[in-house]
Structure 1
């Protein structure tokens, strides 16, 4: 068993990648998926090892989900914008 004062590394990675998914266009979609995977891995590891970092993993999961939603809306916005502009120009 690990010491309770130690923070799980996967939860830190999940939070970092989740925050990056909010701010990096297009690549944020992939980063959001990676953040979700790392947050789930972190929770499973913390259940076994009794480490700290559950809040970081939860925040990483939330940031990743919000990042994915923002990225999808941005892609849909681009598709809608360019389909309307091509319709108007014809």
Structure 2
């Protein structure tokens, strides 16, 4: 029997690492890297012959962590802009 050993996708590992790191050290850039690496890893795993490349779960985890972080970043940015925009509006009229 000639079984081809499977390997773990490096980009899937990077996606998970950046997904975790974006919550502690690299807020925006880490999240973007996690999302990009996660999508690249899932494509790499999908295109490979079945069972040769593993790491889909890590890629999905990195994608989720990255997308959630980006969504929260966007919400926080919008809240800050609305708050300061409201302050500017009231300062102008009072």
Give the TM-score, by structure 2 length. Answer: 0.74
Runs of 4+ in 1 over 6 A off after TM superposition: none
Relative to its length, the structure with more strand (as a share) is 2
Q: Which has the larger radius of gyration?
A: 2
Task: Name the Cα RMSD after superposition.
Answer: 2.3
Give the TM-score, by structure 1 length. Answer: 0.77
| Structure 1 stretch displaced more, 57-66 or 37-46 | 37-46
Gaps of 5+ in 2: none
Gaps of 5+ in 1: none
Q: Is 1:67 aligned with 2:61?
A: no
Relative to its length, the structure with more helix (as a share) is 1
